[in-house]
Amino acid sequence: MDLRTTYLGLNLRNPIVPSSSPLSQRLDDIRQLEDAGAPAVVMFSIFEEQIRHDAEALEHLLTAGTDSFAEALSYFPDVGSYKVGTEKYLELISSAKAAVDIPIIGSINGISPEGWTDYAMEIERAGASALELNAYYIATDPDRSGAEIEQMYVDVVRAVKNAVRIPVAMKLSPFFSSTAHMARRLAEAGADGLVMFNRFYQPDFDLDEMEVRSDLNLSTPQEMRLPLRWIAILHGRVSCSLAATTGVHSGRDAAKYLLAGADAVMTCSALLKNGIGHLRVMLRELEEWMASKEYTSVVEMKGAMSQKNVANPAAFERANYIKILEEYKGRYTTV
Amino acid sequence: MDKSRIAIIDGNEAAAYIAYKTNEVCAIYPITPSSPMGEWADEWSAAGRRNIWGTVPLVVEMQSEGGAAGAVHGALQTGALTTTFTASQGLLLMIPNMYKIAGELTPTVFHVSARSLACQALSIFGDHSDVMAVRQTGFALLASASVQEVMDMALIAQASTLRARVPFLHFFDGFRTSHEVAKIEMISEDQIRALIPDDLVLERRRRAMTPDRPVLRGTAQNPDVYFQGREAVNPFYAHTPAVVQGVMDEFAKVVGRSYHLFDYYGAPNAERVIVLMGSGAETAMDTAEYLTRRLGEKVGVVVVRLYRPFDGAAFVARLPKTVRAIAVLDRTKEPGSAGEPLYLDVVAAVHEAVAAGTMARETAPTIVGGRYGLSSKEFTPAMVKAVFDELQKTSPKNHFTIGIHDDVSHTSLEYDPHFITESDRTIRAMFFGLGADGTVGANKNSIKIIGEETDLYAQGYFVYDSKKAGSRTVSHLRFGPEPLRAPYLIQSANFIGCHQFIFLEQVDVLKYAKPGATFLLNSSPYAPEEVWDHLPRKVQEQIISKNIRLFAMDGSRVALAAGMGSRVNTIMQTCFFAISGVLPREEAIEKIKQAIKKTYGRKGEEIVRKNFQAVDMTLENLKEIPVPATATSTREIPPVVPDEAPAFVKEVLAPIMAGEGDDLPVSKMPADGTFPTGTTRWEKRNISLFVPVWDEQECIQCGHCTLVCPHACIRAKKYPANALVGAPPTFKSVEWKDKNEPGLRYTIQVSVEDCTGCGLCVEVCPKKSKTRVGHKAVNMAEKEPIWEAEKANWAFFLRLPDGDRGALDLSSIKDIQFAQPLFEFSGACTGCGETPYVKILSQLFGDRALIANATGCSSIYGGNLPTTPWTVNAAGRGPAWSNSLFEDNAEFGFGFRLTLDKHREFACELLLQLQSQIGESLVRELIEAPQRTEAELAAQRARVRTLKEKLAALRTPAARHLEAIADHLVRKSVWIVGGDGWAYDIGYGGLDHVLASGRNVNVLVLDTEVYSNTGGQASKSTPRAAVAKFAASGKPFGKKDLGMMAMCYGNVYVARISLGANPRQALKAFLEAEAYDGPSLIIAYSHCIAHGINMQKGFDQQKAAVNSGHWLLFRYNPDLGAQGGNPLTIDSKPPSIPLKDYVYAETRYKMLTLSKPDEAARLLELAEADVQRRWKLYQQWLNQPEAAPATAG
């Protein structure tokens, strides 16, 4: 079975890529991912805001109370240097690059124009094969229009593309008035790929403590419907690669995205839940399914069920309840 | 100066540098002001820096200075080049080993930042009391007078000891020299090697103990030979002065600086000479030169370098032949002696010279002795001049003091403080800042910039107050083209920076401003343009009369805008460079930025960026303020304490608060160190801009806020409604929600002037508004708008009745809020984790407690002048508190118990003797009545009152004796309080013995898991994986389980508590421990600034410590065991959160993940295993009580 695919111009030995997650925080895990069959690894994201915050917090907490009291002019030993900012991240990319043969894809979440480009260049220098821009932005300001936000995304892609030579993908949120148009604009701005979609930390309420909690639950296969729709719609309509992410827990889930037209399928929750070795299982499942449908290569199945290629393209465009009403009638009956 | 070898360092670093380069082993124990020497050595060792033989010295922290000295002795005996650093009490603890080391002729150098000894009071500051207390040990004593000399003499001592075999103590003045930052020339490794040839080291090795060439050292000798053996060392001592002089001569050849055993400075034909050693010598030399050159006076100074062995002949030879009168100045006091040590040595030397005929009897000088500079008391040119002037008299005063006003024994010499010798060519700048605003750090950078970038000499000295929250700092910086021989505070400043506007009302900022000086003011909260009208009248007058140029900067606003928070340091530093003209402006800005990069670069670009931004924003905001011809302000500086303060507070403590303690005469000071308690209430520090405000409608009256407040600033009372008559208009009061007590009113009141703004009360408040969950029953708000009203409300609140203590259930949090804290408004850190426990202790037992407090944070916030937080209740009763030492605290408190037990026994004997006169039933009740509850205690107090009335009528000696000790018939509560450094390390031996004694004492260990007071050194309580000084790579071993060790006795009550995790259990433990008629130990988790946490989240961390299983809550009550029950109660649930969720919220752990990630991961794993093992072990003990040791029967 030929599982090879091309994503961001990178030749991958199969399409199931471990997505940006804590799985890439340790070199050992990256090695294990490669051993389990990962064709590439997207590194966990570095958050510009977090880096700034951490640096400030470290400085504040190391110096709080110093030079104030004659007996205790400091409270911590001077240990020389700290691996703050991107240093640790870049070291990991370099060592991963040396340790494995698969492409390493860096991931950034910036908040300032120089944040995006500076980190992008550092990651490129560290040896990353490609870059994923994790555009994680919640537009809360009522004075900022959708157009402004969209322009911001486009500007980020342009700036980063100007700054680096490695391919750049943008991981998008699904919340655009016109997702298809946005995808095209980003591709035109130079994006080599689009990753669909970013999952946000959604707030929850703790009713006992009466507090707002914010955490990320692992995805479920049910959540793949939204990206599935948009991959299927965009396949063949944008000039760049498409990667699907969210809800990929089995080889069969991966098959769905590939059929929709994804060039790569990202998975994370399944590996966090079942362990890195689960990647092998997923690949086997994918092969088994392909075999059962007599596919011989991924290229062959890619986009087979995209909007362009299905019998009822309107299915992707209608809301669910309409679809249910239609199905009640029976697809082929005339009565 | 060789420019390539210039360094800007302090005395401690200078000493540590040589010690590190020339030794292989260093065993230390932290003590102020010597701690940084050991810390430098440890940091260099951790960083792999090598000594001159190419190996990395081994640095170990011991459990006490006694331990360090023992380890040093052992390492020396086995041949390692070994050193140690210490001061004060630490040096005293080394004395026994010092005799041994010297007796065995073992070369070593101890480096000592000389400090006062604890007598009537402890003092961390500098004088020679400690080194003078070891002058008899056989160690040679070599003194340094400046930072440069520290480096030089450290090497001379090291080179000499190896040649002479006599061990050396090299000392310099604590703080004044140990902490003075100065521009000096470093000695290179080659120069060090030139003075310490290898053959000396190899010779040293040959005397090492080894089973390959066994010898016996440390014999016991009998009357027949001990004496002769003692005298056998004489040739070595006789030879030592010549050896030292030889080394000094060699040093001069190699390094270029020349020294002698005694150096003379001044007029060659001087008639009056001062003899002294240490930093004061610099002042004396400088003054002598001034008097000689400018005024033609015939004066001079002999500076003593080698004090022991004292070479009298060399001393006499150094005196000018013309000398007529000598004043010997000792920086120590030896009560009852014929004179202080150096004076007696000089008298003896001159006497012996006369006897030997080397000095003519007729021309022999008059010699007087005087004391100066105790506890870093200022020693200025004016004082030196006064001493020279005194020597001009026909019979100068002997045994005088200089620098104080002694109106009791009239020892002091008068001096004219206006005599100032500072050179016009020196820039002298003073900066008043807050500890928290970064002023000191910025000034240290300024000194480096100027010292390194210009040919100017540079000096910096920093003065801190004794408060840990909102502390004030004063920086003294000098820059000049000539060497700066001015080891005293600036007396005439040509630049003054005031970094906080509020200081203008608190201290006389412009007191030392020279006419024509420049004054830089952070005008925030006012804009520069409007600041003139807000200045107090006195400040305006000073500016006008001294013709001062005023520059203002809205520093706090700019800092905020640049994202710097409250740190105005960079901004004010930039202003200093912009105005002072020490460097060209552009160059200065460039250098500031380089310094910022160097200081902050390692912690991330973000900090650098913000500081750069602050620099760039500064210049456009700096304004020169035109000074009008007349003062217009109506703002008067308020009195330091209100008029109703007691006389002692007004006359003695208030001047200390105002920074004028130097002016207090001897008669104002208690001769035995006894002070009244209850004095913090008079020191309104107003350090927080934000304070809690009570929302009485939301409040559920639970009392948690009052329980946790570290400074006892938020209090509750319930009282009858009619008590509200005359309440201020904004005073809040609601109905007390308890059906059993209808009609009562309830108030929570904040003392906004004492609040430090920690926010812990808001954090623990469990009530959230139903309509706005972010709003609680206590919320932080700006102080300014409510300040005046809340002051009045607090005053009214204090006058409300306290209610019946006997009716309270003190084991309930709801009730303990009404028990008056007898510990209030301490100087502890904002959000301190220790003080809430101390406060609870005072609430529960304060009116009958005797407290022995180990030296450390709790003794400083509990007993550092000017004021003490320990206070009294309306009946005048309150904790009796004392601090003895660091190491002896358990024994000290144990002594309290012995007195109480003995006096109760004696009182009972006297009662029985006087039974017929007193009445049988009263006697029986006095002896037998139970005193468990507050009501029973009140009844006993009433009986004692009756007894005293009856005794007053009796005319027998027995009655008088009983009267004197009758109060001991009321049950007293002995508390032994201290930190983990004391309990786990230095005081452990004593603590163990006291716990084993079976006597009824209560021990409270405020466990911060680190030496907090001396700045974060590891103790045996420090947990695995935490970073601390002397554990820079994370503590490799687990925390000692002091609780389990104590439990092994079986008859010790033990509890491990955490107020943040389980306040009810904590209260229960206090009550059970006190009720237990035997030794009790409470180990209390105390979050601390040394953990590197947001202190507002201190109690969250306490919870996390418990939930992660790191801090296991339990109580072990032998009484339960004696009743056949299980003495052990585990109050923790099984670990419910991963350890990393707790530890990585603290910088002490987190920083290791940033410096050594792999090691951090390894240690975390081990620490996780510790948690599991501990949980299992305690469970085993719980489930198999028979496995536990026998309980008290």
Provide the CATH number for the domain around residue B434. 3.40.920.10
Instruction: Provide the residue ranges of all domains of chain A, joining segments of one domain with +.
Output: 5-329
Nearest CA in chain B to A59: B603
pLDDT in tens, B1039-1066: 999 999 999 999 999 999 999 999 999 9
Is pLDDT at B604 greater than 80 in this prediction?
Answer: no
Residue B795 identity:
A
Which residues on neighbouring strands pair with residue A157, listed in sequence order? none
Q: Do B604 and A55 touch (CB under 8 A)?
A: yes
pLDDT in tens, B239-283: 999 999 999 999 999 999 999 999 999 999 999 999 999 999 999
Q: How much is the average pLDDT of A97-121?
A: 93
Nearest CA in chain A to B175: A70
- Check if A63 contacts B (Cβ < 8 Å): yes
Q: What is the CA radius of gyration of chain B?
A: 32
pLDDT in tens, B755-786: 999 999 999 999 999 899 889 999 999 999 99
Q: How much is the average pLDDT of B357-367?
A: 95
- Check if B36 contacts A (Cβ < 8 Å): yes
Tally the residues of chain A: 335
Please answer whether residues B607 and A55 qualify as being in contact, where contact means their C-beta atoms are separated by less than 8 angstroms: yes
Is pLDDT at A330 greater than 90 in this prediction?
Answer: no
Q: Catalytic annotation on B1014?
A: no
Q: Which residues of A touch B472 (CB under 8 A)?
A: none
- Check if B716 contacts A (Cβ < 8 Å): no
What are the backbone angles phi and psi of residue B497, rounded to the nearest 5°?
-115, 130
Domain that holds residue B944: 901-968
Q: Catalytic annotation on B32?
A: yes
Q: How much is the average pLDDT of B751-758?
A: 96
Sheet containing strand B400-402, edge to edge, reads B262-266, B299-304, B272-276, B325-330, B366-372, B400-402
| Chain mean pLDDT for chain A | 89
Structure tokens at A302: 């890619």
Among residues B65, B185, B340, B390, the one annotated as catalytic is B65
B1016 in the same domain as B931: no
- Nearest CB neighbour to B1032, from listed A60, A68, A77: A77
Confidence of residue A217 (pLDDT cuts 50, 70, 90): confident
Instruction: Please give, rounded to a whole number of angstroms, the shortest distance from the CA of B48 to a CA of chain A.
Output: 11
Amino acid A131: pLDDT: 97
- Check if A49 contacts B (Cβ < 8 Å): no
Instruction: Please give, rounded to a whole number of angstroms, the shortest distance from the CA of B857 to a CA of chain A.
Output: 10
B939 in the same domain as B1013: no
Q: Which CA distances in Å does B1064 have to A291, A312, B707, B840, B1069? A: 66, 68, 11, 12, 9
pLDDT in tens, B56-101: 999 999 999 999 999 999 999 999 999 999 999 999 999 999 999 9
Q: Which of residues 549-568 of B touch A (CB under 8 A)?
A: 565
Q: Do A64 and B1089 touch (CB under 8 A)?
A: yes
Three-state SS annotation for B1077-1127: CCCEEEEEECCCHHHCCCHHHHHHHHHHHHHCCCCCCEEECHHHHHCCCCC
Amino acid B113: pLDDT: 98
Query: Of all helices (H) and strands (E), which one includes residue B762?
Result: helix B760-764
Domain stops at, among B600, B625, B650? B625
B271 in the same domain as B251: no
Amino acid B566: pLDDT: 81
B443 in the same domain as B577: yes
pLDDT in tens, A142-167: 999 999 999 999 999 999 999 999 99
pLDDT in tens, B614-635: 999 998 899 999 999 999 999 9
B437 in the same domain as B380: no
Amino acid A81: pLDDT: 79
Instruction: Please give, rounded to a whole number of angstroms, the shortest distance from the CA of B35 to a CA of chain A.
Output: 9
- Domain assignment present for residue B743? The answer is no
B380 in the same domain as B242: no
Q: How much is the average pLDDT of B516-540?
A: 95
* DSSP assignments along A182-248, one per residue: HHHHHHHHT-SEEEE-PPPPEEEEETTTTEEEEE-PPP-GGGGHHHHHHHHHHTTTSSSEEEE-S--
Percent of residues, chain B, with pLDDT higher than 70: 99
B231 in the same domain as B165: yes
Q: Which of A48-62, B184-198, B387-401, B594-608 has the lowest mean pLDDT?
A: B594-608
Residue from B606, B1019, B1087 to probe the interface with A (highest A Cβ count within 10 Å): B606
Distance in angstroms (rounded) separating the CA atoms of residues B1127 and A312: 77
Amino acid B303: pLDDT: 98
Nearest CA in chain A to B828: A69
Q: How much is the average pLDDT of B670-680?
A: 97
Q: How much is the average pLDDT of B347-373?
A: 96
Amino acid B1186: pLDDT: 64
Q: Scanning the structure block, which residue is given the tokens 């331990």?
A: B67
Confidence of residue B1190 (pLDDT cuts 50, 70, 90): low
Please answer whether residues B820 and B873 qualify as being in contact, where contact means their C-beta atoms are separated by less than 8 angstroms: yes
Residues 6+ apart with CB under 8 A from A290: A1, A255, A296, A298, A301
Is pLDDT at A331 greater than 50 in this prediction?
Answer: no
Collapsing DSSP to helix, strand or coil, B146 comes out as coil
Confidence of residue B598 (pLDDT cuts 50, 70, 90): confident
**Nearest of A96, A118, A103 to residue A51 by alpha carbon:** A118
- Domain assignment present for residue B803? The answer is no
B45 in the same domain as B181: yes
Give the number of other Cβ atoms within 10 Å of residue B867's Cβ.
27
A:B CB pairs within 8 Å:
150
Q: Which residues of B touch A51 (CB under 8 A)?
A: 604, 606
pTM for the whole structure: 0.94
Is pLDDT at A238 greater than 60 in this prediction?
Answer: yes
* DSSP assignments along B1132-1163, one per residue: SPSP-S-HHHHHTTSHHHHHHHHH-HHHHHHH
| Chain mean pLDDT for chain B | 96
Instruction: Please give, rounded to a whole number of angstroms, the shortest distance from the CA of A148 to a CA of chain B.
Output: 26
Q: Which residues of A touch B179 (CB under 8 A)?
A: 70
Structure tokens at B632: 């217009």
- Nearest CB neighbour to A75, from listed B46, B606, B1090: B1090
Please answer whether residues B1148 and A76 qualify as being in contact, where contact means their C-beta atoms are separated by less than 8 angstroms: yes
Among residues B23, B32, B871, B1153, the one annotated as catalytic is B32
Q: How much is the average pLDDT of B968-976?
A: 97
Q: Catalytic annotation on B65?
A: yes
Please answer whether residues B1101 and B1087 qualify as being in contact, where contact means their C-beta atoms are separated by less than 8 angstroms: yes
Q: Scanning the structure block, which residue is given the tokens 């060090």?
A: B192
- Domain assignment present for residue B567? The answer is yes
Amino acid B796: pLDDT: 98
What are the backbone angles phi and psi of residue A95, rounded to the nearest 5°?
-75, -30
- Domain assignment present for residue B630? The answer is no
CATH number of B272's domain = 3.40.50.920
Q: Is the peptide bond before B381 cis (omega within 30 degrees of 0)?
A: no
- Domain assignment present for residue B797? The answer is no
Q: How much is the average pLDDT of B553-565?
A: 89
The one-character DSSP state at B1032 is: T
- Check if B605 contacts A (Cβ < 8 Å): yes
Nearest CA in chain B to A89: B1154
- How far is Cα of residue B1128 from the mean position of the Cα atoms in its chain? 38
Collapsing DSSP to helix, strand or coil, B68 comes out as helix
B1061 in the same domain as B937: no
pLDDT in tens, B123-170: 999 999 999 999 999 999 999 999 999 999 999 999 999 999 999 999
Residue B903 identity:
H
Q: How much is the average pLDDT of A231-235?
A: 95
- Domain assignment present for residue B581? The answer is yes
B312 in the same domain as B269: yes
Is pLDDT at A327 greater than 50 in this prediction?
Answer: no
Confidence of residue B1187 (pLDDT cuts 50, 70, 90): low
Amino acid A140: pLDDT: 87
Is pLDDT at B857 greater than 80 in this prediction?
Answer: yes
Q: Do A62 and B441 touch (CB under 8 A)?
A: no
Options 3.20.20.70, 3.40.50.300, 3.10.129.10, 3.90.740.10; CATH for A5-329 is 3.20.20.70
Instruction: Please give, rounded to a whole number of angstroms, the shortest distance from the CA of B12 to a CA of chain A.
Output: 13
Give the CA-trace dihedral at B720, B722, B723, B724, to 10 degrees: 110
Structure tokens at B349: 């030397």
Q: Do A82 and B436 touch (CB under 8 A)?
A: no
Q: Catalytic annotation on B706?
A: no
Is pLDDT at B417 greater than 90 in this prediction?
Answer: yes
Amino acid B297: pLDDT: 97
Residue from A52, A66, A79 to probe the interface with B (highest B Cβ count within 10 Å): A79
Amino acid B441: pLDDT: 92
Give the number of other Cβ atoms within 10 Å of residue B809's Cβ.
10
Confidence of residue B576 (pLDDT cuts 50, 70, 90): very high
Confidence of residue A333 (pLDDT cuts 50, 70, 90): very low
Distance in angstroms (rounded) separating the CA atoms of residues B699 and B776: 8
What number is the ipTM of this complex? 0.93
Is pLDDT at B1192 greater than 60 in this prediction?
Answer: no
- Nearest CB neighbour to B471, from listed A56, A58, A69: A69
Amino acid A324: pLDDT: 45
Structure tokens at B469: 């929250």
Is pLDDT at A322 greater than 50 in this prediction?
Answer: no
How many domains is chain B partitioned into structurally?
A: 5
Instruction: Please give, rounded to a whole number of angstroms, the shortest distance from the CA of B246 to a CA of chain A.
Output: 38
- Domain assignment present for residue B171? The answer is yes
Nearest CA in chain A to B438: A67
Q: How much is the average pLDDT of B622-649?
A: 94
Please answer whether residues B861 and B468 qualify as being in contact, where contact means their C-beta atoms are separated by less than 8 angstroms: yes
- Check if A77 contacts B (Cβ < 8 Å): yes
**Nearest of B517, B522, B476 to residue B503 by alpha carbon:** B522
